[in-house]
Amino acid sequence: HQKETPLANAAFWAARKGNLALLQLLLNSGRVDVDCKDSLGTTALMVASYYGHLDCVRELVLQGADINLQRESGATSLFFAAQQGHNDVVKFLFEFGASTEFKNKDGGTALLAACQYGHAKVVETLLKHGANIHDQLYDGASAIFLAAQGGYLDVIRLLLSSGAKVNQPRQ
């Protein structure tokens, strides 16, 4: 994958701002690799997913972006969309084969991120698509623990009704 070029930087900017016309122009020029990464391994798809620009996410995926690439931290496009509560993006990424299995450096998964930030709709979507309700951070924090820390009762109810264990020991 190409390293950062001025055109790649422009593509990242377009993905961040949700500027679909510019993103299409750059990708169609054939001079920007759809999976080009910045110095931390971030792709334009991760950026568009983080900021919730579904039209840009769709364009990148249809142009062949690799959905399951991981950043140096271990995070994926699905992780960023889940963390930021963009349920439409999460659903779209699943249609194109996003995996819930990836962990970042502290053991964080898309499900744990959604629980930690209180995004109940996203939690529901992730569970429906096979996310593991028993995921834990490497320090032992569970989905329910993270939701409880934030006081997200709707997320806690959802986790309980989906079979999360309340007294799961921290490993």
Note the pLDDT tens digit of each residue in 14-32: 999 999 999 999 999 999 9
pLDDT exceeds 80 at position 168: no
Closest listed residue to residue 165, CA positions, set 122, 135, 138: 135
Q: What is the C-alpha separation between 109 and 131, in angstroms, rounded?
A: 9
The pLDDT of residue 5 is 83
Reported pTM:
0.94
At residue 165 the predicted structure's pLDDT band, cuts being 50, 70 and 90, is confident
pLDDT band at residue 164 under the 50/70/90 scheme: confident
Does the pLDDT at position 1 exceed 60? Answer: no
Residue 87's region, left for phi above 0, alpha for psi from -120 to 50, else beta, is: alpha
Q: pLDDT tens digit string along 111-159?
A: 999 999 999 999 999 999 999 999 999 999 999 999 999 999 999 999 9
CA angle 134, 135, 141 (to 5 degrees): 100
Average pLDDT score, the chain: 94
> What is the DSSP secondary-structure string of the chain?
-----HHHHHHHHHHHHT-HHHHHHHHHTT-S-TT-B-TT--BHHHHHHHHT-HHHHHHHHHTT--TT---TTS--HHHHHHHTT-HHHHHHHHHTT--S----TTS--HHHHHHHTT-HHHHHHHHHTT--TT-B-TT--BHHHHHHHHT-HHHHHHHHHTT--TTPPP-
pLDDT confidence band for 167 (50 / 70 / 90): low
User: Backbone phi, then psi, for 168, in 5-degree steps?
Assistant: -60, 120
* Torsion-angle region of 85 (φ positive above 0: left; ψ -120 to 50: alpha; else: beta): left
Answer whether 8's CB lies under 8 Å from 32's CB: yes
**Domains in the chain: ranges and CATH:** 1-66 (1.25.40.20), 67-166 (1.25.40.20)
